[in-house]
């Protein structure tokens, strides 16, 4: 016991002293526009603490082993991957530090982020902004694409860097279901014809919320009427129709709609246990990973909707008080590189879609991308992208989530 106590004490003194052992690059503005060699030199020998959702062994291995390996070998930077159960936990740490007046010794150097969490960080002044031009691999990013330049309708304004693209897709078990519904209109009929075989996670769950937005788009007769800032009259009209559809559907849901799964993981478990026939996810590549790790039956097949599915981009952000901004910039640059984006797109690594323009990368990287064979169960991203719907602004999304709780989930 005494031995353990000593170990603990040693570990703690180490944790405290390691803080001051290398160059501090908390002053981000002084890094903006500097030659890249100077930034990598300032980052050398340091560390970077990246907070990201840690619930996938495949993603963890890609980050710790592949990305961590490049950082160590090429730049002498130690990557400390901090696993989160929910991204908001990382945002709360930065928020708490800002309130306590910690402006240059924060504990978070980078967060994998998008949507509402990005809005919180941008509006709260928690993000380091205006540096994206400094990254050499920024040239691979198409900032003219509104789906990249806006994160759930909030302009990025150089406060984060894209990492991957995702687009909502359904999945079903070919051994159990012959003809899954291929549009929201079909789904509404299908649920009534197949009582107990469908449900969705209760918003504000990320995936449950995007499913409700698909019904919302359907009720509005298309997404184009809903773009732009929040419109109360429009919302009142469309939401009344949406709650009507969802409330009519409720008695035909799993367990007569008396309860909803609390998370996407719970829905995926229901699907895996044959309790419901359909599942869905904002990350369509997850079907492939879940078949390979045994979570889903191998006869699972992903598919898109004929009336389109919502797509989004996810990003990495550097908090304003990160003390290791140079190392975080190097990490972001590595993540954007064609090689790292191609590795991430391999179906047995992750299978997610790149956030960069593939035709701007080197010939070698383009050859890798061209040779990638998608997992047979994952819906073809090019087919999926043909019917891509935009995300709404965050103010719409929070109104819909609240409305669902008051009118459907009550």
What residues line the site for another protein (CB under 8 A)? 1, 4-5, 7-8, 11-12, 15-16, 19, 49, 51, 53-57, 60-61, 64-65, 80, 82-86, 89-90, 92-93, 96-97, 99-102, 107-108, 263, 265-266, 268-269, 272-275, 293-298
Cα separation, 268 vs 97, in Å, equals: 36
Closest approach, Cβ 71 to another protein, in A, equals: 14
Nearer to another protein, 106 or 181 (CB): 106
Closest approach, Cβ 43 to another protein, in A, equals: 19
Nearer to another protein, 299 or 306 (CB): 299
Nearer to another protein, 102 or 188 (CB): 102
Nearer to another protein, 57 or 364 (CB): 57
Closest approach, Cβ 265 to another protein, in A, equals: 3
Closest CA to 350 of 51, 56, 59, 55: 59
Nearer to another protein, 2 or 373 (CB): 2
In which region does residue 312 sit, left (phi positive, over 0), alpha (psi from -120 to 50) or beta (all else)? beta
Closest approach, Cβ 97 to another protein, in A, equals: 6
Nearer to another protein, 10 or 372 (CB): 10
DSSP β-bridge partners for residue 278: 172
Q: How far apart are the first and last CA of the chain?
A: 52
Nearer to another protein, 97 or 160 (CB): 97
Nearer to another protein, 92 or 123 (CB): 92
Closest approach, Cβ 345 to another protein, in A, equals: 20
Closest approach, Cβ 87 to another protein, in A, equals: 12
Closest approach, Cβ 214 to another protein, in A, equals: 22
Find out whether 321 and 104 touch, Cβ atoms under 8 Å: yes
Cα separation, 373 vs 395, in Å, equals: 38
In which region does residue 333 sit, left (phi positive, over 0), alpha (psi from -120 to 50) or beta (all else)? alpha
Cα separation, 158 vs 215, in Å, equals: 32
Closest approach, Cβ 32 to another protein, in A, equals: 26
Closest approach, Cβ 36 to another protein, in A, equals: 28
Nearer to another protein, 24 or 157 (CB): 24
């Amino acid at each position: 016991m005494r031995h353990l106590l000593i170990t603990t004490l040693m570990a703690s003194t180490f944790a405290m002293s390691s803080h001051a052992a290398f160059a501090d690059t908390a002053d981000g503005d002084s890094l903006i526009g500097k030659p890249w060699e100077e930034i990598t030199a300032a980052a050398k020998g340091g560390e970077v603490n990246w907070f990201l959702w840690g619930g996938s062994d495949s993603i963890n291995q890609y980050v710790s082993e592949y990305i961590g390996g490049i950082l160590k070998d090429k730049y002498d930077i130690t990557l400390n991957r901090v696993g989160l159960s929910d991204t908001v936990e990382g945002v709360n740490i930065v928020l708490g530090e800002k309130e306590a007046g910690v402006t240059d010794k924060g504990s978070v150097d980078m967060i994998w982020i998008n949507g509402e969490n990005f809005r919180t960080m941008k509006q709260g002044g928690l993000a380091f902004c205006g540096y994206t031009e400094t990254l050499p691999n920024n040239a691979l990013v198409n900032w003219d694409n509104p789906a990249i330049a806006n994160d759930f309708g909030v302009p990025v304004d150089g406060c984060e860097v894209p990492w991957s693209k995702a687009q909502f897709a359904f999945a079903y078990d070919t051994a159990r279901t012959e003809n899954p519904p291929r549009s929201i209109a079909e789904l509404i009929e299908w649920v009534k014809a197949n009582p107990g075989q469908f449900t969705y996670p209760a918003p504000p769950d990320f995936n449950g919320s995007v499913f409700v937005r698909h019904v919302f788009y359907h009720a509005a007769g298309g997404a184009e009427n809903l773009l732009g800032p929040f419109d109360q009259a429009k919302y009142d009209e469309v939401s009344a129709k949406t709650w009507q559809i969802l409330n009519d559907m409720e008695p035909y849901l799993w367990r007569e709609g008396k309860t909803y799964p609390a998370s996407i993981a719970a829905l995926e478990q229901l699907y895996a246990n044959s309790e419901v026939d359909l599942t869905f996810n904002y990350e369509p590549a997850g079907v492939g990973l879940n078949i390979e790790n045994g979570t889903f039956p191998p006869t699972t097949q992903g598919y898109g909707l004929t009336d389109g599915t919502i797509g989004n981009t996810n990003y990495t952000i550097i908090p304003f008080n990160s003390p290791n901004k140079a190392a975080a910039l190097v990490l972001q640059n590595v993540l954007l590189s064609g090689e790292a984006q191609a590795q991430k797109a391999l179906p047995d690594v992750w299978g997610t879609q790149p956030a960069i323009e593939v035709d701007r990368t080197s010939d070698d990287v383009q050859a890798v991308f061209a040779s990638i064979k998608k997992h047979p169960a994952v819906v073809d991203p090019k087919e999926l992208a043909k019917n891509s719907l935009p995300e709404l602004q965050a103010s719409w999304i929070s109104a819909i989530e609240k409305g669902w709780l008051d009118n459907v989930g009550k």
